Chain A
Amino acid sequence: MAHILLIDDDAGLVDANKLVLEAKGHEVSVAYTGDDAWKLLEKRRPDLLVMDVMMEEFTSGFELARDVSIKFPDMPVLMLTGVQEHMRSDWKFDEDKDADWLPVRKFLAKPIPPTKLAEEIEAALKAAKEKKGKRPS
């Protein structure tokens, strides 16, 4: 079980994702804006963060992801986006090439079914755990 922070301005989507994640035994916190997310992050560090690219402003998600990567370099961030569909761009996120400007673990196209998102979250949590285990402490 992990503590997951969901950040999205669509209350319905957040609710559906929360139901599935809680059913799998995770603890879920919710923020609808970047500011609210930051307040929660400062109070308590989640194990993983899921956010939408477009929140209040077009680039709010990018900015938040960058700020998070500076403050919590190890935190896995999954970014959801409707951008590809919106812009008809065939750009694909490549962690090796793009991680320096967009510090996220995975870039997932919206809409993504909550059960599929839950699988992605499990995989990212597992990867983060392995990475942590390898590192000498």
Chain B
Amino acid sequence: MAVSEKLKVIVCDDEPKMCSAIKIILDGFRPEVRTLGVEAELEVSLVSTGEELLTRMETDPADLVLLDYKLPGISGMDILGRFSEEKRETAVIIMTAYANIETAIQATRLGSFDFLAKPCTPEEVRYTVKKAAHHLIVSRHARLLAQEKKRIRFQFISVLAHELKAPINTFDAYLDVMRDMTLGKDMTAYAGIIAKCSERTDGMRKMIADLLDLTRIESGQFRRAPAALEVAGALAAAAEGVAAEAARRGIKLETEGAGLLVEADPSEVGMILNNLFTNAVKYNRDGGLVRASAAADGGKVRITVEDTGIGMEKKDAARLFSEFVRIKNRATIGIPGSGLGLAIARKLALQAGGDIEVESEPGKGSRFTLSLPAPGSIDLKAA
């Protein structure tokens, strides 16, 4: 079903018959832009002089003007000249009974979109209007897309600035405490402060590394080499990466998945699983459990990583994969993170033809499900 978009059309001709004929021809005509799934809804109004057209353009500008070349007062060419001076984005179709090549060249130079020679058939009118409508809608969409891109970029940068500023504010605050010698003159009293500052610098460094990863993934500079990959091995390697921290906190790691293969880039799968395992340990309770398993599901393999940690509310789970989202509450306050890890993991999973989902319950734990294509289930060239 095409979405309908309005285009305002003004027909400017001093012959009332010509005006009403065009209105009838365009009545109910809905030119379609198939590639965008858009149908133009033409809102046609009529004026009989150039002066009237100019006044109307001030208050209620049209997207498209069908303009008679020879008007009693200000001429069609003068109007075209005015439009181009005012840098209007209005598309103009010049209509004239004095069809000759000079007029056409002059009109085109002044920026008219197209040319209709009178007398013209209804088909010619519709064809020309259709071309103009297509042009107008495509450029309108391009403009909106450019604006949206700018908005997203601005939002990303302001969040990034906030995230980078936060640790600096903390350093400043602690420096003030040290300058003030709040805790006395003995340096050992400040050991806790120094440890906290080191944690924050580590966090900043990790965030910068994540940012670079994210940029590389988005710019397509990650050279992907999908291959048949053993799930059990990948899970064991990811578990190995967090084994020391898990042991320190008495968290048990269990992995399964023997005999299953996925078709994906091994280093990308490594990045995703590292992230899921790190989170499963980070947000677990001491003495908890991380359990990873895998199962074939049609042309996909579903890998689940479950923890027995703090979990999260549904509303938090819904925005978890967006950039810089970190769930802030009493349970997460001391846990460092860039807020980019899961955004990166999701992007990688989608690029590999899979996805990541989360189910969670506060206080009980979270279960992340990574689905990846099984070997032979995707056309590698297309992916």
Contacts and interface: CB of A to CB of B under 8 A. Distances in A.
Contact of A13 (B169, B180, B329): B169
B333 interface: yes
Contacts, number: 69
A70 interface: no
Contacts of A111: 168-169, 172-173
B165 A82 contact: yes
Contacts of A82: 162, 165
A110 B330 contact: no
B91 to A, nearest CB: 38
Contacts of A10: 166, 169-170
B56 to A, nearest CB: 39
B324 interface: no
A97 B218 CA distance: 48
Interface string B157-169: 0100010011111
A16 B176 contact: yes
Interface of B is mostly: helix
A16 B330 contact: no
Contacts of B180: 20, 114-115
A35 B162 CA distance: 23
Nearest to A11: B333
A111 to B, nearest CB: 4
B176 A113 contact: yes
Nearest to A22: B182
B24 interface: no
A116 B172 CA distance: 12
A99 interface: no
Interface of A is mostly: helix
Interface residues of B, number: 24
B176 A13 contact: no
Interface in B135-181: 158, 162, 165-170, 172-174, 176-177, 180
Interface residues of A, number: 25
A120 interface: no
Given A9-B333, A56-B328, A114-B177, A16 B183 contact: no
B333 A16 contact: no
B330 A13 contact: no
B177 A32 contact: no
B170 A12 contact: yes
Contact of A113 (B158, B168, B173, B193): B173
Contact of B182 (A23, A36, A55, A116): A23
B329 A19 contact: no
A10 B182 CA distance: 20
Contacts of B170: 10, 12-13, 16
B334 interface: yes
B330 A114 contact: no
A67 interface: no
A82 B196 CA distance: 22
Contacts of A11: 333-334
A136 B204 CA distance: 54
A33 interface: yes
Nearest to B167: A12
B328 A32 contact: yes
A116 B334 CA distance: 25
Nearest to B172: A111
B176 A114 contact: yes
B105 to A, nearest CB: 50
A110 to B, nearest CB: 7
A20 B170 CA distance: 14
A134 interface: no
A135 interface: no
Interface in A95-137: 110-111, 113-116
B165 A33 contact: no
A115 B176 contact: yes
A92 interface: no
Given A15-B196, A56-B328, 9 more contacts: A12-B169, A12-B200, A16-B174, A19-B183, A82-B162, A82-B165, A86-B158, A111-B173, A113-B172
Interface of A: 9-13, 15-17, 19-20, 23, 32-33, 35-36, 55-56, 82, 86, 110-111, 113-116
The 10 residue pairs across chains A and B that have the minimum distance between CB atoms: A12-B170, A16-B173, A113-B176, A111-B169, A32-B333, A23-B182, A115-B180, A16-B174, A20-B182, A114-B176
